[in-house]
Structure 1
Amino acid sequence: MNRYGEQAMTHWKEHKPLAFRELEDPEEFFTGLGEEIATEIETRARELAGEEPDGEGYLQRLQRLNTSRLEAEGEVLRERVLLDVESDQQ
């Protein structure tokens, strides 16, 4: 299980315990979810980074790619991992 799957599992255990208990195989579920999230982050980061501008230097490229990765990661984690808490947890 990758770090995204682990993060989702931890979040569900704490904030969505009823849904977590209903999972037949949590390890398999969060392993798959983590892989989906990693792929989605990679795809979105490439889209956000766009094409390499003419004359872009190494440090500018590194900054552009890192920024797009962090932005994509934040967006996807909010959409797929940091889900609303269960009503009894509010």
Structure 2
Amino acid sequence: MNTHGQHAMETMKNHDPETFSQILNPEEYFSTLGEQMQEQMEELMTQLLPPRSPGQSTMEVVGGINVARSRAREMVYQEMIYSSIPPEPEIMENNPLPDEDED
């Protein structure tokens, strides 16, 4: 299982244990998911690469590649992992708990 599949598995295990418990073979499921994520990231990264311009330094080219890679990962993780996780319950800020000292 690659790092993407491992991250997806840990995220679901920690944030959606009910759904995680329904997966019959988590190793196989997340291994396949990780491979799919890797493929999507590679395709998306090539689309996000900035065009090279004459006179660019090696550092500028590498920087563009790194930004494209990070952005592709962020987008794929959001689509394939985070969007399926149920939202955390919100803490009610407008209705604080009563002070224990008040009678």
Q: Which band: TM-score by shorter chain?
A: 0.7 to 0.9
- Pairwise CA RMSD of aligned residues? 1.7
Instruction: Tell me which residue corresponds to 2:33.
Output: 33
Q: Which moved more, 1:19-28 or 1:53-62?
A: 53-62
Task: Between the two structures, name the one with larger relative contact order (CA 8 Å, sep ≥ 6).
Answer: 1
Does 2:27 correspond to 1:23? no
TM-score w.r.t. length of structure 2: 0.77
2:37–2:80 CA contact under 8 A, matched in 1: yes
SS in 1 for 2:70: helix
Q: Which structure 1 residue ranges, 5 or more long, are not aligned? A: none
Give structure 2 stretches of 5+ with no counterpart: 90-103
Deviating more after overlay: 52-61 vs 42-51: 52-61
Aligned to 1:46: 46
Determine if the alignment matches structure 1 residue 11 to structure 2 residue 11.
yes
What's the TM-score once normalised by structure 1's chain length?
0.87
AA paired with 1:4?
A: H
One-letter amino acid of the structure 2 residue matched with residue 59 of structure 1: M
Residues 67 and 86 of structure 1: CA distance in aligned 2, closer, same or farther (over 3 Å): closer
* 1:18 shift after superposition: 1.4
**Which is higher, the Rg of structure 1 or of structure 2?**
2
- For 2:27, the aligned partner's letter is E
Residue identity opposite 1:24 in structure 2: L
Q: Paired residue for 1:80? A: 80
Which sits farther off after the overlay, 43-52 or 59-68?
43-52
Aligned-partner SS, 1:55: coil
Aligned residues: 89
Q: Which of the pair is proportionally richer in helix?
A: 1
CA distance in 1, matches of 2:57, 2:48: 18
Q: CA deviation at 1:39?
A: 1.0
